[in-house]
Structure 1
Amino acid sequence: MAWLSAAAAWAAPPVSSADQIERGRYVARIANCVACHTSGGAPMAGGLPLQTGAGTVYSTNITPDAETGLGRYSFEDFDRAVRQGVARDGRRLYPAMPYPSYAKMTREDVAAVYAWLRAEVKPVRQANRESRMEWPYSIRWLMVPWNLLHLEQGPAPVNKTKGEAWNRGAYIVQAVAHCGACHTPRGMLFGERGTDTRSRDFLSGAMVEGWSATNLTGDPVTGLGAWSLTEIVEYLHTGRNAHATSFGPMSTVIASSTQYMTPADLEAVATYLKSIPGARRETESFRYDPAVATQLEQGRFDTAGARQYATYCMPCHNASGKGFARVFPPLAGNPTVVDPNPASLVNLLLNGAVTARVNTAPTDYHMPGYGWTMEDQELAHLLTFIRSSWGNRAAPVSVEAVSQRRAAPAKASPNAQ
């Protein structure tokens, strides 16, 4: 019977302090583990389909269940999976699990998450689903050379020329919060085109499951150049500020993650983001033009899309296009509106959206979708009108772009609703 005692001791979680467990809860919040590892059922039990350019990956069960979860993972097993992308059985993980970002986490933070999962997450027996990847991406051993090309080992280095807040913000953005996994464009092999500011592509905007993740660099029109440090903090904490209101996948991130960050960490993130130069090298800031507002107030609908705007959009966003601050976002000078990739704006008009559900607001706000009442050409005219009014200078939206997005609707964001 000695082998039974040995097996029990091996499987038992290590003794962890209350402080380490609480730290793990907080780090897991920043990493937003619940958003990907929950699919409408028990928290952390996995099963959420994650669409990639090479197929569908299903998130895994990370509860402490011994048969289907992490119950038999030692800390070393867990650390290897999180920071190197290798499961306990040697199976290579796909980078839908953002281990290229987590590779920059400290061992202490990974250990804290492990302690929290083992101590406070309820074990759930739920079998993992097999990924459905296209050939040759279905050949998992190909992740070995992929990692050689795209995986950088070791915690994020400290920049001694920067302050404590900047370094803390860099660590959160690059590693724990893995912002680059959504906001950095990927190459032909689906690796991020940069994991820090050494690459001009880092955080310059990318496509994620049908949405355009916005440019987080310092470009003054399509990025965060016009946002103050305080406004970035406000957005991450509440999902709204004078420039924008959250929608789509970002509402999920704010609702389940960033709203819980400490004020010091929010300021650190904002400090780091404000230090990143513009990726698109925009030389002019947005300048408001009242001409379209005057035409709308006079009931003049000569421009294509103007009548649809007055019917469907003006009650909330006003003839001025300035909306109502922190409730209905401005369309004039909004980075999402003038994004070179109009995918998010098309999704919003077709399918609607909901703001982040946060503790700082009495309710969330729903924008209705108008795909049911407008044809593709009408929507294209309306979108083009919005992107070219009040000083906006974005390219027109074609009817083909609307038709393609209608045929492939964006993934919903259930955790925000």
Structure 2
Amino acid sequence: MKNMLKGLGAALCVALPLLAQAPADAATPAGAGAADQALVQRGAYLAQLGDCAACHTAPKGKPFAGGLPMNTPMGRIYVTNITPDAQTGIGGYTEADFARALREGVAKDGHNLYPAMPYPSYAKVNDDDVKALYAFFMHGVAPVQQANRESDIKWPLNMRWPLMFWNMAFLQKGAYRDKPGKDVAWNRGAYLVQGLGHCGSCHTPRGVAFQESALDESGSAFLSGALLDGWFASNLTGEHNSGLGRWSDEDLRTFLKSGANRHASAFGAMTSVINNSTQALSDQDIAAMSAYLKSLPPVGGNGAAAYTYDPQATKVSLDRPANDAGARVYTAYCMHCHGVDGRGFAPMLAPLAGNPNVLAKDASSLINVTLNGTGDLVINGVPSPYPMPGFAAVLDDKQIADVLSFVRTGWNNGAPAVGAAEVAKLRQSTQAGR
């Protein structure tokens, strides 16, 4: 995922390549002998589950050849080539080398990986799944000779050796172990969500050293929502307003398979997760993930009373748009898709009334998607017919603040208003380089 390094975490995580070689490994290198095709196919499924393509395949680039830029406050880093090319990829990695990189964030030559690679989550992947992933990347992926690009981060901030100490403090080694008293589906869901699914990498708040505040349900902050790269990754706990409390099990399974349901539609980085990962998962695994997520107790939210739909006050505002600047913008640009009643035309056009992203305390996602729109959801090869367009070139900061404040208070949503300064800040950070 596109994890941005911030504050003290940035200073710690952007540190010097450790050039000491890893211990010699006598295991057979990649490419020797025929691969078990069933194992390769299973590894391909697991790579989809882990959404490896989202980060390791650049736009218009070859699969898994890297090169995707990730912006940090200190400069850009570039994702690496993980094809089995012997010179520029991971073709020389043994299975032990691969497992160490995946689960401990240490490359074959001994240098530490940035925690933009979610190895604290992948640490929970069991040995059998590591073996299958290794088989896939060595025998199911075409080798691509494409040299890895050095980061744009300047010395001394490009040093990585302090990451050894970060790992000592925050990396919890050891594969996931089934929790006693929980059924098979719950444990499978926990393993997928916490491990290869690495949901916490985006949806769990970070501490001062950029560490996830919790790695499983034993921590109260786990999956309670987090700001990341200009988006607020949603609350995935049972919180009634901004979380999954009003979603049925079927609602959640539908969202993971299609990216949209009667409550909300995917946007931002979640679009890539739906396109490249969850839509391809088995019904059994989707059901397991849903069972686990729906078991999480409510955490976070904006402290408001449980949401109930009330269209009356908003209907009055829309009847007299000249008296409300936000209503005027909504009438001109939003109402045809999202409706006078705010209920949209789900699942094709997202509702705004009661939408968890609208009710969230942090309005970053609403501002970002209004400015920049979102990419197409592509389900079974078919793009969504009505993607959200961007309005950065059409509406100024005050107009966007006005309409989002109108939406956040409309239909009994009861969320805080949005200020023009918030819009200006996100406009500057998200429009840079476009």
State TM-score, norm by structure 1.
Answer: 0.93
Q: Paired residue for 1:33, among 24, 49, 52?
A: 52
Which amino acid letter does the alignment assign opposite residue 30 of structure 1? L
Match of 2:81 in 1: 61
Which amino acid letter does the alignment assign opposite residue 376 of structure 1? D
Q: Paired residue for 1:370, among 378, 385, 391?
A: 391
Q: Is the 8 A contact 1:346 1:383 kept in 2?
A: yes
Q: Is the 8 A contact 2:123 2:172 kept in 1?
A: yes
SS where residue 50 of structure 1 aligns? strand
Match of 2:407 in 1: 386
* Shift, 1:301, TM fit: 3.9
Whether 2:312 is the aligned partner of 1:327: answer: no
Match of 2:297 in 1: 277
* Shift, 1:10, TM fit: 4.5
SS where residue 372 of structure 1 aligns? coil
* Shift, 1:366, TM fit: 1.8
Alignment of 1:203-214 (within 5 A): 203-214=223-234
* Shift, 1:53, TM fit: 5.1
Q: Is the 8 A contact 1:210 1:410 kept in 2?
A: no
Q: Paired residue for 2:43, among 9, 19, 24?
A: 24
Paired with 1:180 and 1:151, the residues of 2 have a C-alpha distance of 14
SS where residue 27 of structure 1 aligns? helix
Whether 2:226 is the aligned partner of 1:196: answer: no
* Shift, 1:338, TM fit: 1.6
* Shift, 1:37, TM fit: 0.3
SS where residue 357 of structure 2 aligns? coil
Whether 2:167 is the aligned partner of 1:150: answer: no
Match of 1:408 in 2: 429
Whether 2:271 is the aligned partner of 1:245: answer: no
Paired with 2:152 and 2:219, the residues of 1 have a C-alpha distance of 31
Change over 3 Å in CA distance of 1:337–1:14 after alignment to 2 = farther
Q: Paired residue for 1:308, among 329, 333, 337?
A: 329
Match of 1:12 in 2: 31
Which amino acid letter does the alignment assign opposite residue 147 of structure 2? A
Which amino acid letter does the alignment assign opposite residue 120 of structure 1? G
Moved over 6 A (4+): none
Q: Is the 8 A contact 2:376 2:384 kept in 1?
A: no
Whether 2:136 is the aligned partner of 1:119: answer: no
* Shift, 1:198, TM fit: 1.2
Match of 2:8 in 1: none
Match of 2:192 in 1: 172
Match of 1:183 in 2: 203
Whether 2:124 is the aligned partner of 1:104: answer: yes
Change over 3 Å in CA distance of 1:247–1:355 after alignment to 2 = farther
* Shift, 1:360, TM fit: 7.9
Q: Is the 8 A contact 2:317 2:324 kept in 1?
A: no
Paired with 2:67 and 2:47, the residues of 1 have a C-alpha distance of 18
Paired with 1:14 and 1:186, the residues of 2 have a C-alpha distance of 43
Q: Is the 8 A contact 1:52 1:96 kept in 2?
A: no
Which amino acid letter does the alignment assign opposite residue 219 of structure 2? S
Q: Deviations over 1:231-266 (max 9, x none)?
A: 100001011100011112111110010000000000
In structure 2, stretches of 5+ residues that fail to align are: 1-25
Change over 3 Å in CA distance of 1:307–1:10 after alignment to 2 = closer
Q: Is the 8 A contact 2:343 2:352 kept in 1?
A: yes
Q: Is the 8 A contact 2:318 2:327 kept in 1?
A: no
Change over 3 Å in CA distance of 1:32–1:364 after alignment to 2 = farther
Which amino acid letter does the alignment assign opposite residue 160 of structure 1? P
In structure 1, stretches of 5+ residues that fail to align are: 1-6, 413-417
Which amino acid letter does the alignment assign opposite residue 39 of structure 2? Q
Alignment of 1:249-268 (within 5 A): 249-268=269-288
Change over 3 Å in CA distance of 1:375–1:217 after alignment to 2 = same
Change over 3 Å in CA distance of 1:339–1:136 after alignment to 2 = farther
Q: Is the 8 A contact 2:318 2:331 kept in 1?
A: no
* Shift, 1:200, TM fit: 1.0
SS where residue 207 of structure 1 aligns? strand
Q: Is the 8 A contact 2:235 2:300 kept in 1?
A: no
Change over 3 Å in CA distance of 1:206–1:307 after alignment to 2 = same
SS where residue 389 of structure 1 aligns? helix
Paired with 1:339 and 1:298, the residues of 2 have a C-alpha distance of 27
Output the aligned Cα RMSD: 2.1
Match of 1:396 in 2: 417
Count residues in correspondence: 406
State TM-score, norm by structure 2.
Answer: 0.89
